[in-house]
Amino acid sequence: MGNRAVYVLIAVVTVAAIGLLWGSSIPLGVPSEWEWNRIQYPGGLGAVMIESALALIVSIFLIGYAWLGLRRIERCSGAERFGWLIGLVAIGVAWMISVQESTPPTYRMTKAAWVLYYPGASGYYFNARYDYPNTDEFLGGYEDRMKEGDYLHVGTHPPGLFVVYRGIINFLNGNPAAVEAVLQTQTESFSAAFDVIEENNRASRGLKPEDRATIWLAVLLTHLVAALTVIPLFALLRQEFSAQTAWASICFWPAIPSICIFLPKSDALYPLIAATFIYFWVKGFRDRSWSEFLIAGLVAWLGMFFSLAMLPTLAVAGLLTLIHLKKLVESERSENNPDADDATQKPSPSLWSGPLKAIAFAVAGFIAPCLVLLFVWKINLAAVWYYNFINHESFYDAFERTYAKWLGVNAIEIMIAMGGPLGVLAVSSTWTKSALTRSKASDFQGVWPCLAVWMLLWLSGKNNGEAARLWIILLPGAIWMAAYRLDAMFEEADSDKETKPHPLAAWFCLLILQAFVCVATTMRVTGFSLPGPVEWLKRLDEIF
């Protein structure tokens, strides 16, 4: 499939997705099982245009910055390149907030106040604030709490998020200067929402400025961590591609619809951890560095300390390892006796010693913090993960899902969640000859491990409902896959100056289209039902 065919497919997928969201009333999910809700605009198209103004303005800065960076990134020094990445992080945070603020008043950063405060939406802050003020006691009794069988938020997660909230609470308590500095940055919509929360909780539990500051700081940190994902992604892609291709690929990251829709849920935190882990894993093999494998093990543990969602990323690493070992075997055979039959040659024992030692260091990096928690805080993380898994399975016992229906719905949902341009670029890397050539030549062939894990999750039916949110941790893989396609496009630009449309101009247009899709999807789909007190939404409407 050539470039033009890919462009046509992107256009078709994008138009179909926008038509589904805005031009139809087709359920976004499976009725009676799980559906995403559409945001309504009583004022019609005019109201939509007015609401989208902020995001459209910020998108000019995002796309302009991406273009300037593309022109410069190949020639600049390492320090300047890092500066460009930090700038992309800053603009990414501004973009994500502006897109959310372009929805109707009750769906802006108002959602952040409710989602992070009320236990029905997450529960991590609420438990850290009211139920477990003592971290030592909390960790010591965490395994017993998992045995209670809660199959919603708390029972399906390791203790990492609770510890983070406890840390933020401890930092802000007794630190009025920090509280004031944090509150100076809150948006009007968040402030109004928390005013309502304070009003509703005045009788039962009086809320202090520290409570508001804790929630808002958690919101800001979640946005920052989500945007920071571009840094390890860039470093990972540089293992295989030019700086130009790596930059062009990561610029799609802030404009992925599902990230903006589901912020500030903790799911947006995990891609940074996943991308960092894969980077050190790949680089450890390339450099034959035990220290990098040790870091990879520590990062993997950190991901598992927060969520079992890290498991698919570990599976990606396992497949990358198998591909790399296969490459080593082929290379040894070629060097020793290129004319011999491959089947008659056995790999030398020394070939395995290096990779096995490196993996042992990664395992040590993973196990060491587990042992610290076991001996210091008496928490057995292996047991916690077991109960988390059991509790997660109990969720589907309580909420029935029809496998056959979700098989089709999930495929459509994840394409919309990624955005048509990025989704097609990623998928087309598996059947485009030029992209496959690059993948085959690489030491790790990143396309296939990422695709295999996506397919296994899809076919397993483990996430029937909410795949758009639960699979956010795998989105760095979509960027990696798309990079093979973009690299092929840019090579055509170098080899054939007459290629029409010019691939650099095509990339620029695709990024504009991705930003448009992100705005259109975020303005139409809400990732949260906003219950809380009955009068909550009415009060917010009155405030605005």
The DSSP line for 490-520 is HHHHHH-TT-SS-HHHHHHHHHHHHHHHHHH
pLDDT at 539 over 70: no
The pLDDT, as a whole number, for residue 433 is 65
pLDDT at 480 over 70: yes
pLDDT at 314 over 70: yes
The more confidently predicted of residues 490 and 387 is: 387
pLDDT at 296 over 90: yes
What b/e sequence results for 492-528 when a residue is b if at least 16 CB atoms lie within 10 Å of its CB, and e otherwise? bbeeeeebeeebbebbbebbbbbbbbbbbbbbbbbbb
pLDDT at 174 over 90: no
The more confidently predicted of residues 86 and 39 is: 86
Mean pLDDT of 321-341: 71
Tokens coding 126: 């609420």
The more confidently predicted of residues 1 and 129 is: 129
pLDDT in tens, 446-464: 888 999 999 999 998 777 7
Q: What is the side-by-side strand order in the sheet with 28-30?
A: 28-30, 34-38, 525-526
- Cα separation, 230 vs 90, in Å, equals 11
Lowest mean pLDDT of 227-231, 373-377, 524-528, name the range.
524-528
pLDDT at 146 over 60: yes
The gap between the terminal CA atoms of the chain, to the nearest Å, is 51
The more confidently predicted of residues 150 and 256 is: 256
The Cα-based distances of 152 to 155, 218, 399, 400 in angstroms read: 6, 21, 11, 14
What b/e sequence results for 319-353 when a residue is b if at least 16 CB atoms lie within 10 Å of its CB, and e otherwise? bbbebbbeebbeeebeeeeeeeeeeeeeeeeeeee
pLDDT at 277 over 60: yes
pLDDT at 46 over 60: yes
By the 8 A CB rule, do 183 and 216 touch? yes
Mean pLDDT of 509-534: 84
The pLDDT, as a whole number, for residue 534 is 45
Closest CA to 220 of 107, 369, 96: 96
Closest CA to 187 of 63, 54, 81: 54
The pLDDT, as a whole number, for residue 445 is 75
Tokens coding 302: 């950190």
Closest CA to 471 of 257, 205, 297: 257
The pLDDT, as a whole number, for residue 503 is 81
By the 8 A CB rule, do 118 and 70 touch? no
Mean pLDDT of 240-253: 95
Burial class, 195, CB count within 10 angstroms (exposed 0-12 / middle 13-18 / buried 19+): middle
Give the number of other Cβ atoms within 10 Å of residue 62's Cβ: 23
**pTM exceeding the 0.85 threshold for the entire prediction:** yes
The pLDDT, as a whole number, for residue 532 is 47
The more confidently predicted of residues 340 and 55 is: 55
Give the number of other Cβ atoms within 10 Å of residue 74's Cβ: 13
- Cα separation, 455 vs 323, in Å, equals 18
pLDDT at 343 over 60: no
- Cα separation, 442 vs 282, in Å, equals 12
Lowest mean pLDDT of 136-140, 223-227, 326-330, 334-338, name the range.
334-338
DSSP state letter for 399: S
The pLDDT, as a whole number, for residue 327 is 78
The Cα-based distances of 28 to 37, 311, 380, 395, 524 in angstroms read: 7, 27, 40, 21, 11
The more confidently predicted of residues 18 and 392 is: 18
The more confidently predicted of residues 154 and 142 is: 142
The pLDDT, as a whole number, for residue 339 is 58
Tokens coding 459: 């076919």
pLDDT at 5 over 50: yes
Closest CA to 443 of 528, 328, 305: 328
- Domain residue ranges in the chain: 3-541
Mean pLDDT of 349-375: 88
Tokens coding 311: 């498991």
The pLDDT, as a whole number, for residue 22 is 94
Q: In the predicted model, what is the mean pLDDT of the chain?
A: 87
